[in-house]
């Protein structure tokens, strides 16, 4: 390293869980001003988590960006929740309302009520996929799905939670698909899933994320699908990855409200 290094604070938060070693870990890096994009990407790659969130203060709230180890993404739920947690519990204790200006997803609002955070995100309904990538089902394996839809990601619907849980996708083949990621979902199994309305998993190997533990933004697509199918606007969800996580989702017109908890795992600094 040449020259004087800059020290930046960093926090690692487990989102959509009430205990460490569960949910989805995200790094959160507060900044005084924006660093070059290449440096933000390098920090995210070094962190090697599904997402690293960077934010700065603005006149009306905050500006927020998210990076996987490979790319900047347009929307990320768990890293937004992690950022709100850091602000309201560490940087500005007690803050209950946060507005985040983003580059592609508009303004996102997070509110805090006790230990629960609610994210107000845009609704992103999927449509039936007319010509899904022929590699999709081969990459997923498993039984034939009930339906295949698409938006930013593929949404593949199975008959049972067990089918979703048992999938062992071919990540190399999945990484060659034509959309950003693949979400698989099924109705919740009341006995094994504690009564949740639906379960899911999310794979995005082309973005540096073989399987995302808990994906808030994907529930912007899942919520309108299951709201229509189940005839209800408030739904409970569980992402059945190895770490797992729970979400409370509400369809509110063209918005989706996603609720969850978060816990701090790590606090420190990085030198760049």
Burial track 123-140 (b if 16+ CB lie within 10 A, e otherwise): ebbbeebeebbeebeebb
Instruction: Quick: pLDDT tens for 65-103.
Output: 999 999 999 999 999 999 999 999 999 999 999 999 999
Burial class (CB in 10 A: 0-12, 13-18, 19+), 113: exposed
pLDDT in tens, 203-244: 999 998 999 999 999 999 999 999 999 999 999 999 999 999
Q: What is the pLDDT of residue 193?
A: 54
Q: Can you tell me which residue has the tokens 């460490």?
A: 20
Cβ 184 vs Cβ 167: under 8 Å: yes
Range with the lowest mean pLDDT among 27-31, 114-118, 189-193, 263-267?
A: 189-193
The C-alpha atoms of residue 99 and residue 90 are separated, in whole angstroms, by 17
Closest CA to 216 of 53, 10, 46, 30: 53
pLDDT digits (tens, 9 = 90+) for 166-179: 999 999 999 999 99
Residue 49's SS3 state is coil
Long-range contacts of 127-131 (CB under 8 A, 24+ apart): 127/151, 129/154
- Catalytic option among 51, 130, 250, 267: 51
- All domains of the chain, ordered by start, with CATH? 7-122+259-271 (3.10.310.10), 127-252 (3.10.310.10)
How deeply is 171 buried, as exposed, middle or buried, from its count of CB atoms within 10 A (0-12, 13-18, 19+)?
Answer: middle
Tell me the CB-side half-sphere exposure of residue 219, using CA atoms within 13 A: 36
Is the pLDDT confidence value at 2 over 60? no
Compute the distance between CA of residue 76 and CA of residue 124 in angstroms, rounded to an integer: 13
92 is catalytic: no
């Amino acid at each position: 390293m040449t020259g004087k290094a800059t020290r930046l604070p960093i926090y690692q938060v487990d989102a959509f869980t009430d205990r460490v070693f569960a949910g989805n870990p995200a790094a959160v890096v507060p900044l005084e001003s924006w660093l070059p994009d290449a440096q933000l990407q390098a920090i995210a790659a070094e962190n090697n988590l599904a997402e690293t969130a960077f934010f700065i203060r603005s006149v009306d709230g905050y500006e927020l960006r998210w990076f996987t180890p490979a790319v900047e993404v347009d929307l990320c739920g768990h890293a937004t929740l992690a950022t709100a947690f850091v602000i309201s519990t560490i940087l500005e204790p007690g803050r209950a309302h946060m507005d985040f200006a983003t580059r592609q997803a508009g303004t996102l609002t997070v509110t805090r009520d006790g230990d629960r955070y609610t994210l107000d995100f845009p609704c992103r309904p999927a449509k039936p996929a007319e010509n899904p990538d022929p590699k999709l089902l081969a990459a997923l394996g498993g039984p034939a799905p009930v339906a295949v839809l698409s938006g930013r990601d593929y949404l593949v619907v199975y008959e049972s939670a067990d089918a979703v849980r048992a999938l062992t996708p071919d990540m190399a083949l999945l990484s060659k698909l034509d959309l950003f990621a693949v979400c698989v979902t099924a109705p919740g199994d009341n006995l094994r899933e504690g009564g949740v309305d639906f379960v899911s998993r999310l794979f995005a190997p082309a973005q540096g994320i073989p399987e995302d533990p808990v994906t808030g933004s994907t529930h912007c697509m899942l919520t309108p699908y299951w709201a229509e199918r189940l005839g209800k606007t408030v739904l409970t969800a569980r992402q059945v990855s190895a770490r797992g996580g729970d979400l409370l989702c509400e369809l509110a017109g063209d918005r989706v409200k996603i609720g969850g908890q978060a816990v701090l795992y790590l606090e420190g600094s990085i030198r760049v």
